[in-house]
């Protein structure tokens, strides 16, 4: 059984102020987790976590992570704007994008962000709009299948991201001719892994590649970015990744590969999103309807517009019926939202305690890629975001959308009067 970071009494008090549905975040958990990550990699004097802004793009969350020493990993113009607004500057920002518009590259360059090229053609594309910075990163895609032991973790050969191995050498030589003096190497080969071996295996690949690139080009590799991919246990029976063991595994690979090559000045970067925030957010929702036809359904006031992972991927999220944690799970339900789509289900055939209308339900592990993936299909409005602070108080860090927000971008004055809102 997964435990919530908030109890029923707290939730009942919170919902008096903020009507459901809303995403709730645990400041204490976020800070403690960020500090664990820092301890796991403290052996590397240049280590820095660049939080993946796309996972939870809220300035209050970003500010907490900034206070804990993290940077910001951005992939779009508006994410760069958000990072700048929070106070991230220069090399506190990593710009790692793909199919990148001119405006995005120009803005990243204006902020002096570190730029991670996703393709060799981006070199000439960028060079037409700005002088090359002294430091540039290249994203590597080794192709094929990524395996740990004999288990296939993912298939980089099918991914749209990154340069081939041959293109890395070609790209570095081209960048050197354009005045680049320092290089970063980046790769993302698997998603949401809870095995402790993923980062160390990825690190070995990148470390060996870095040594080869130095030998081939004489380039100074100043950092290696292990990107994201360290996941969380969405299911209660899953074991979480041990970040201390992961950090130690990367350290051993560093000493085995980089140190003998005289490259012990290489900084290690990460850009974790799900690992940093996933378990420290939840979707709070109320049972609104029940339906008994060919199956038993519980309809919530939340829907896939608030959390689309189950509808999009069939992803599992644990559900707690608040106040009934110790009751037997002897009722089988489909837990649904109100979209006109049959995949708008948070759970299918889920065994839960008997749910009564008005019960508060907590859908776990929505702190990353939860609110951020929301949308307005069926005219549904995106929810509020609330921060549970360390002292037990709450702060509204994003208000719920209103119909006025939904219609704000339409030229609809001839159809709607102001009094409508």
Closest CA to 73 of 97, 48, 52: 52
Query: Does an H or E element contain 311, and which?
Result: helix 309-313
Residue 15 vs residues 220, 266, 284: alpha-carbon distances, Å: 55, 49, 9
Residues 299 and 23: their CA atoms lie apart, in Å, by 18
Distance CA 90, CA 205 (A): 28
Look up residue 260 and give its two tokens: 């003998």
Question: Rounded to an integer, what distance in angstroms lies between the CA atom of residue 307 and that of residue 372?
Answer: 9
Q: Where are the alpha helices (DSSP H) in 135-242?
A: 165-177, 198-217
CA distance 79 to 85: 10
Task: State the Cα–Cα distance between residues 329 and 331, nearest whole angstrom.
Answer: 6
Contact indicator for 281, 372 with CB cutoff of 8 Å: no
Residue 227 backbone phi and psi in degrees, to 5: 60, -150
In 3D, which of 51, 59, 91 has the Cα closest to residue 75? 51
Report the run of H or E that residue 350 belongs to, with start and end: strand 345-352
Token pair 């992570």 is found at 65
340 is catalytic: yes
Quick one: the chain helix, strand, coil %, rounded to 5?
A: 35, 25, 40
Three-state SS for 120-144 is: CHHHHHHHCCCCCCCEEEEEECCCC
Q: Identify the active-site residue in 70, 74, 282, 340.
A: 340
Per-residue tokens: 395: 């702060």
Task: Show the tokens assigned to 270.
Answer: 């990460």
Q: What is the DSSP letter of 355?
A: P
Residues that are catalytic = 340
């Amino acid at each position: 059984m997964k435990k919530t970071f908030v109890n029923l009494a707290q939730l009942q008090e919170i919902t008096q102020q903020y009507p459901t549905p809303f995403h709730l975040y645990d400041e204490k958990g976020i800070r403690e987790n960020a500090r664990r990550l820092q301890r796991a990699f403290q052996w590397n004097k240049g280590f820095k976590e660049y939080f993946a802004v796309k996972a939870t793009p809220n300035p209050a969350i970003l500010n907490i992570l900034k206070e804990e020493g993290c940077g910001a990993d951005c992939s779009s113009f508006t994410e760069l704007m958000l990072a700048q607004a929070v106070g991230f500057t220069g090399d506190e920002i990593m710009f790692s994008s793909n199919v990148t518009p001119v405006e995005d590259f120009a803005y990243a360059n204006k902020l002096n962000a570190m730029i991670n090229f996703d393709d060799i053609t981006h070199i000439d594309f960028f060079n037409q709009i700005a002088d090359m910075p002294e430091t540039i990163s290249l994203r590597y895609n080794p192709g094929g299948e990524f395996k740990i032991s004999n288990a296939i973790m993912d298939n980089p050969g099918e991914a749209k991201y990154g340069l081939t191995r041959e293109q890395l050498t070609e790209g570095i030589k081209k960048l050197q001719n354009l005045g680049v003096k320092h290089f970063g190497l980046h790769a993302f080969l698997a998603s949401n892994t809870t095995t402790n071996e993923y980062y160390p295996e990825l690190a070995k690949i990148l470390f060996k590649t870095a040594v080869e690139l130095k030998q081939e080009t004489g380039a100074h590799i100043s950092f290696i970015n292990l990107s994201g991919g360290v996941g969380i246990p969405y299911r209660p029976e899953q074991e979480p990744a041990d970040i201390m063991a992961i950090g130690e595994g990367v350290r051993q690979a560093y000493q085995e590969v980089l140190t003998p090559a005289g490259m012990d000045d290489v900084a290690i970067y990460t850009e974790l999103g799900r690992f940093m925030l996933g378990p420290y957010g939840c979707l709070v929702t109320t049972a609104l309807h029940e339906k008994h036809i060919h199956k038993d359904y519980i309809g919530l006031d939340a829907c896939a517009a608030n959390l689309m992972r189950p509808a999009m991927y069939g992803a599992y999220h644990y559900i707690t019926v608040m106040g009934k944690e110790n009751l037997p799970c002897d009722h089988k339900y489909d837990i649904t939202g109100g979209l006109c789509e049959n995949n708008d289900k948070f759970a299918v055939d889920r065994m839960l305690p008997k749910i009564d209308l008005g019960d508060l339900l907590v859908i776990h592990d929505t702190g990353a890629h939860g609110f951020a993936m929301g949308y307005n299909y069926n005219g549904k409005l995106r929810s509020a975001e609330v921060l549970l602070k360390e002292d037990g108080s709450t702060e509204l860090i994003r208000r719920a959308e209103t119909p006025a927000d939904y219609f704000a971008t339409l030229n609809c004055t001839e159809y709607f009067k102001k009094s409508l809102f």
